[in-house]
Amino acid sequence: MFDILMYLFENYIHSEMEVVVDHDELTNELTRAGFRHQEIQKALAWLERLADLQEMETKSYLDVAPQQSTRIYTAAEMTRLDSQSRGFLMYLENLGVLDFATREVVIDRVMELETANFTLDDLKWVVLMVLFNVPGQEAAYDQMEGLLFEEAEGPLH
């Protein structure tokens, strides 16, 4: 399913091509690209739930953004998001790329993925997809895109 999301993001959203709106046409294209129908349906449902979260944002817990808080992860979240991934989310919050609301949307979308091996690179792409879909987060999206594609120079201390 994650491969399909990456395919859609890279070929439509990230490349700024016109997004195919017709569900059947998009399903046919993804099938021709070699993806299985069941996985295609799961990926499209994942994207629909992301859009739903965006629309519900003003009526939900996402409105309540504490200034200082500590996120306590559930056992399931800690299984999916290793310590490196959780540290990266905290890093993004400290940079101002994520706020309370977008962090929670990212965690929600990560937990909906059906993948055995979720990596830090996968998390970076989910963050990028979430920021792309949340109105008013253009600067955060640009900053995250820079973090995703920049190569570190020299030794990291």
**C-alpha span between 128 and 141 (Å, rounded):** 6
pLDDT value for 145: 85
Contact 102, 134 (CB under 8 A): yes
User: Is residue 156 in a domain?
Assistant: no
What distance, in Å, lies between the first and last C-alpha atoms of the chain? 36
- 118 part of a folded domain: yes
Per-residue pLDDT of the chain (157 residues; tens, 9 = 90+): 888 888 887 776 655 544 545 678 888 888 998 999 899 888 888 888 887 776 665 445 555 555 667 889 999 999 999 999 999 999 999 999 998 888 999 999 999 998 878 999 999 999 998 988 887 888 888 888 888 777 555 554 4
Residue 48 lies in a domain: yes
Domain that holds residue 101: 2-64+73-149
CB atoms within 10 A of CB 81: 21
Whose CA is closest to 5, among 119, 143, 147, 35?
A: 35
Q: Name the token pair of 130.
A: 């979430």
Say if 154 falls within a structural domain.
no
- Dihedral class, residue 96 (left if φ above 0, else alpha if ψ from -120 to 50, else beta): left
Residue 155 forms part of a structural domain: no
The answer as to whether 157 is a domain residue is no
Q: Which residue has the tokens 């990230």?
A: 14
Type of residue numbered 131: L
| DSSP-derived 3-state class of residue 37 | helix
In a domain, 102, yes or no: yes
Residue 37: Cβ-neighbour burial (10 angstroms; 0-12, 13-18, 19+):
exposed
**Domain count within the chain:** 1
C-alpha triplet 141, 46, 68: angle, nearest 5° = 50
In a domain, 143, yes or no: yes
Tokens of 61: 């817990």
